[in-house]
A = this chain, B = another copy of it.
Amino acid sequence: MDAQNSIDALDQLLRSDESISPAEAKTLQRYLEDPPIQDIVRLVERYQGSRAAVALRLLPRRRAIEVFDALDPAHQADLIGALQNREVFEFFDELDPDDRVSLLDELPAEIAERLMRNLEPSERDITGVVLGYPKGSVGRRMSPEVPSLFVDLTVDEALTVLKKSADDVETIYSLPVISRDRRLEGICSLREIFTAPSGTRLEEIVTKPVVANAHDDAEETARWFLPLDFLALPVVDDSNRLVGLLTADDAHDIVEEEDTEDSARIGGSEPLQQPYLSTPLMRIVRSRVVWLLVLAVSALLTVKVLDTFEETLEQAIVLSLFIPLLTGTGGNTGNQAATTVTRALALGDVRTGDVLSVMWREVRVGFTLGALLGILGFVLASVIYSLPLGIVMGTTLLAICTMSATVGGIMPLIAKTCGADPAVFSNPFISTFCDATGLIIYFFIARTVLGI
């Protein structure tokens, strides 16, 4: 049995829901030593709680821990219900403090408490530090286990300290250097320590650090920190004392979660927090139903608008033919602007203070797009229907595109200013809004031009 076959055998087993003899389990376990760990993670991610638990039990102990570690907190929480206490304690114990806290957030209070009680006191303390910071803050996502290098050490002494502590800390490559009272003095890379002439004091090679405060927003910090290509960012408290490190992979996890959340919200649903296939069906329904209802109710606005213009419609039923085309185009133009600006906001390319520059850009972009579509609409409608209808279509498209791009561009900024998630306002909401206003524009223009 080669590596791929052992993965396939495991997949088969999980899919079939059959039981397996202890001897077979042992054989499979031996073969599961070989396949690359990421392939096993990928497989386990596809199964819900009890099935995923079977997989973890079949894996060699060390690998089971690695796999559990790599799962999303919501998925870990699902699994915990299907595992035995002994297994749960072991997995929980092996997590890094920041991952432990993410999992605790997903668990019912009583289970969370029991897990905390079963931790070793030192681990419990360090987990408590992370738990002490608010959700969404850097402190909540940092690794509190930091190697301490004092600024008055020589590089040789520093190397000795590092050799001793290498096993306990998350990284020894990016090293905060502190004063004797734990104030951050700067940062040193192992590379620098390693290449400096013997006898050099750390204070000679330490560089001014890029730092974050433990209370800073985790997403914002991760976004500006990652492009700098550092391995880790020292985290300090308000009196500049070192409290932890945010590693690049922690920062990457934060960014990826936020991107997944934005992508879900742009699509008009709440994020699932775990892989699609392992999410229980009802949780998917719940992630969508609220937004769908809210949007349907706000779409009643379009019913109201059309009701108001029912007389116009009766007189020129042909106008109704273009309703989905016009509302669709308005929605598309608005979405284009909104998703662009939402992404730019997330990446930090645009700030809420830029609302006027964004608006002015989008007015011009929307007008240009509207002019192009308007000309096309004018020609088509004039040829197929009549000149007056061509004029209605042309001017309506111009007006709708300009309006939608402008609204789409500034809505995410307004949302952010009000403290809401820009992604929520960046797609279906814009569509619904543009639908209603677009229809009003359409019927006003039609009434004027057609003289109804």
Contacts and interface: CB of A to CB of B under 8 A. Distances in A.
A128 interface: no
Interface string A321-332: 111110111011
Contacts of A266: 263, 266-267, 339
Contact of A336 (B267, B426, B439): B267
B163 A194 contact: yes
Given A272-B340, A344-B276, A317 B328 contact: no
Contacts of A427: 267, 335, 427
A432 B328 contact: yes
B322 A292 contact: no
A313 interface: yes
A77 interface: no
Nearest to A401: B292
A235 interface: no
Contact of A332 (B162, B227, B263, B295): B295
A210 B224 CA distance: 29
A38 interface: yes
Given A296-B373, A307-B321, 20 more contacts: A37-B210, A37-B228, A38-B224, A70-B228, A159-B194, A166-B191, A173-B190, A173-B231, A248-B252, A275-B344, A276-B344, A288-B336, A291-B336, A292-B336, A293-B376, A295-B328, A296-B377, A299-B324, A303-B321, A313-B317
B431 A288 contact: no
Contacts of A229: 249
Contact of A259 (B36, B259, B269): B259
A264 B190 contact: no
A348 interface: yes
A354 interface: yes
A340 B432 contact: no
Contacts of A38: 210, 224-225, 227-228
A267 B340 contact: yes
B263 A339 contact: yes
A53 to B, nearest CB: 19
Main secondary structure, interface of A, reads helix
9 contacts: A37-B228, A229-B249, A262-B263, A267-B336, A296-B332, A302-B324, A310-B317, A313-B320, A320-B320
A267 B335 contact: yes
A15 to B, nearest CB: 10
A436 B321 CA distance: 12
A172 interface: yes
Contacts of A372: 289, 293
Interface string A256-299: 10011011101111001001110001001100110111011001
Interface stretch (A85-93, A134-142, A177-185, A362-370): A362-370
Nearest to A211: B36
Contacts of A13: none
Contacts of A45: 349
A350 B277 contact: yes
A315 B51 CA distance: 56
Nearest to A348: B42
A450 interface: no
A157 to B, nearest CB: 15
A149 interface: no
Contacts of A277: 344, 349-350, 354, 357, 361
A277 B356 CA distance: 12
Nearest to A343: B263
Contacts of A268: 332, 335-336, 339
Contacts of A364: 281
B190 A260 contact: no
Nearest to A230: B249
A347 interface: yes
User: Shortest 8 CB-CB distances between A and B: which pairs?
Assistant: A267-B339, A275-B349, A276-B344, A302-B324, A299-B325, A229-B249, A306-B321, A320-B320
